Amino acid sequence: MVMVTNTQPILNRCYAIFVSPQPHMDDRSLPVEPSQRLPALEKLLGKRRAESSRFLEAFNREGISLKDLWKRVDHRGDLVAAGLLSSNPGRTASLLISPIQNREQAAETTLLIRSMVEHAIADGQLDLIQYLGEPNDDLELSVLKDAGFIDLALLVSMERSNSRGAKPPRALDNVVLTSHPIADEAMLELLEKTYEDSLDCPGLSKLRHGQDILDGHRRGGNFDPQLWTVLQINGVNAGVSIVNCTPAADCMEVAYFGLAKFARNKGLGAHLLDHALFLAAKHPQRSVLLAVDERNIPALRLYSSRGFRVVTRRVALALSSLKSST
């Protein structure tokens, strides 16, 4: 299975932290007024005024909402931390926080994050908030954990060129690759089968509703149903590949890739991946991206065999409003 979002010491037991629907009052953690966004962005991005001004202009130009830009002030009213929640499809959001320099600032940032996420989830529009952290930044990771986030995985981002010469895989007996849409109920059932005993962020699927996951895939990037492939064995749905086109980043993204348990270890992963790369090659974007749990050794081997190389490693953390455990 592949997950990207946009996605750590890894917990053997992965569970969601339940967030109270009623946020507590904190008069030093506040949403940023429009007139104060520039200094808050300076703090958030760790950049100077001119650079932050360009970011603000870009946000406004591209229609990126800053309504969930927050600040934390000290007892004198001075700005000490900032954070931004960026909403994603499928009732999720990504969290960005200002750089943390010391333990005093870490404590303030923890309180800021708690206020932000409690307010956001109490609003009823989000079920899951995600954060990607640096593996060696122990102070940053401790802040996220103190705020209620849990480790999901060490995500390995990989990239390869989008080869224009890609060819479709050879046909296999009793195996069909189709981009013909299937009913939502059938797709949700297939996705659930691919989660079974998966080595890829095994706790993540329990932190979201199935329909939200499906909606998120459809609304990520430029949705094209012809880039979705279902692998069938003797007419039974057994695997799925979801590729999104992201022109702004000049890339194709393998947003999801998984096989049902009964279809694994038969060479079908390579068959499905080759087909996904063939579809991606029909588009002019420069590269193909994906992300995978570092524990998923078979998947890492497969992707490496198809020319993917490691670009970055990030700790994937999450906080969910759903009380569940695996």
Confidence at residue 19, expressed as pLDDT on a 0 to 100 scale: 43
> Is the pTM above the cut of 0.75?
yes
User: How does residue 221 score in pLDDT terms, banded at 50, 70 and 90?
Assistant: low
Confidence at residue 298, expressed as pLDDT on a 0 to 100 scale: 95
Distance CA(50)–CA(66), nearest Å, equals 18
% of residues, the chain, pLDDT over 90: 62
User: How does residue 125 score in pLDDT terms, banded at 50, 70 and 90?
Assistant: confident
Confidence at residue 111, expressed as pLDDT on a 0 to 100 scale: 97
In this structure, which CATH number among 3.40.630.30, 3.30.460.30, 3.10.20.600, 3.30.720.210 belongs to the domain 29-148?
Answer: 3.40.630.30
Residue 176 reports pLDDT greater than 90: yes
Same fold, 2-7+158-313 and 29-148: yes
**What is the distance of C-alpha 256 from the center of its chain?**
11
Q: What is the mean pLDDT of residues 25-34?
A: 88
Domain chopping of the chain, boundaries: 2-7+158-313, 29-148
**Single-letter amino acid code for the residue at 243:** V
User: How does residue 25 score in pLDDT terms, banded at 50, 70 and 90?
Assistant: low
User: How does residue 102 score in pLDDT terms, banded at 50, 70 and 90?
Assistant: very high
**CATH placement of domain 2-7+158-313:** 3.40.630.30
Look over the chain and give the mean of its residue pLDDT values, rounded to a whole number. Answer: 86
Residue 40 reports pLDDT greater than 60: yes
pLDDT, one tens digit per residue, over 45-89 is 887 777 778 877 877 776 677 889 999 999 999 999 999 998 887
Q: What is the mean pLDDT of residues 211-219?
A: 78
Identify the weakest region by mean pLDDT among 18-27, 153-162, 256-265.
18-27
Residue 324 reports pLDDT greater than 50: no
Confidence at residue 26, expressed as pLDDT on a 0 to 100 scale: 75
pLDDT, one tens digit per residue, over 183-204 is 999 999 999 999 999 877 766 6
